[in-house]
Amino acid sequence: MKIGIMGGTFDPIHNGHLMLGHAAYEAFSLDQIWFMPNGNPPHKKSETIKSTAEDRMKMTSLAIAPFPEFVLQPYEALRAEVSCSYQTMEHFSKIYPDDEFYFIIGADSLMAIETWIHPERIFPTCTILATYRNEVKTKEEMNRQIQYLSEKYHAKIRLLETPLMPVSSHELRASLQSGDSVSEYMPAAVCSYIKQHHLYR
């Protein structure tokens, strides 16, 4: 199978995440997209992550439930340790040797990937789908970086052009805190879960 991996904090998950998953699925004829909420890195928890890994997994499950091609991948959220991408990807390649992985990352991550721990161990495990959104990086900058990484690491990297969806989790957290409506930016089931569990107050 061709499996796309969509990692994120998903705090909370929103329609931009779902659109990105759909775009990768369609553009590269993938069989599944795994939505993989990250864990609770101890050093980040209080400053940046506002809900537990369990809540973020539940919201992700609710958001992807209508789409059979989307699957919750709880591997990183359930690990006690901080997960590095190279470890996660090496783990998946080892336990699913017959599948092909497509690791979906944002433009900023592509530009910064050499600062990650052991980037050279990520490239052999997958094709990187780098999302290109004009407001983040120009196409020329992205293409230069792709050429550089391909030559240096024999990395397989493809551009994924996605429509602009002007929404982010931090904006939604701010709206929820001030009581503004967020219903046009996320599935109704996620909105209800947030209300029921008094998240982001």
CB of 201 to ligand ATP, least distance (A): 17
We find the least distance from the C-beta atom of residue 88 to ligand ATP, in angstroms, to be 14
Give the x-and-dash track for 13-42 against ligand ATP (CB under 6 A). ---xx--x----------------------
Number of H helices, E strands in the chain: 10, 6
Classify residue 176 as left (phi > 0), alpha (psi -120 to 50) or beta: alpha
- The piece of 4-12, 68-76, 79-87, 111-119 that touches ligand ATP (CB under 6 A) is 4-12
Contact call for residue 167 and ligand ATP (CB under 6 A)? yes
Distances (CA, A) of 167 to 12, 123, 157, 173: 11, 29, 25, 11
Residue 49: φ, ψ to 5°? -100, 120
Interface pattern 109-138 for ligand ATP (x via CB under 6 A): ----------------------x-------
Q: Is residue 56 within 8 Å of residue 45, measured between CB atoms?
A: no
CB 136 within 8 Å of CB 112: no
Least gap, CB of 8 to ligand ATP (angstroms)? 3
Contact residues for ligand ATP (CB under 6 A)?
8-11, 16-17, 20, 105-106, 131, 162, 165, 167-170
